[in-house]
Amino acid sequence: MDLPLTTDTMTRTAPELPRYSRRWDADTASLPEARDAVADLLARVRPTPSAHTVQDAQLVASELVTNALKHAPGPFTLHMEVIPDPAALRISVTDSSPRPPRHRPPDPERVGGHGLRLVTLLCGALEVTPLGRGKRVTASLALALDHGARHP
């Protein structure tokens, strides 16, 4: 007996959420490429994240990638994914150094060394996961959505 296909017999799958992953050697890493990847990934999110949120996400990704470049011999991986509930962008950088990132006390006279403080101000916290070789540093940034944006 043949049964007609109906919505009850069909399997529905949720739309795939935007993701990005890129692996670099220390000498081929590109901060502009990482920032562009954030903007490209968030451009696929509906409703569109606010311009301010995109800039914050680019800053977080830049800081995490910069820390890996400065403190680990390479290679490293940038992985980003949109998580739905509540809407957020999870940004992870995996590198070859086992040492966790170190927060430095605020010092307005110091040039540099403020990146982790900025990341934790924007994201609330960092999650550091030790790996067999190195670590993964993950930050999640809430997506303030621009509900008034028009899409093609």
Q: Are 35 and 95 in contact (CB under 8 A)?
A: no
Per-residue model confidence (pLDDT) at position 122: 94
Per-residue model confidence (pLDDT) at position 148: 58
**Regions in the chain scoring below 70 on pLDDT:** 1-15, 146-152
Matching CATH number, 19-142, of 3.40.50.10490, 3.40.605.10, 3.30.565.10, 3.20.20.70: 3.30.565.10
Per-residue model confidence (pLDDT) at position 25: 86
Per-residue model confidence (pLDDT) at position 120: 93
The full set of domain ranges for the chain reads: 19-142
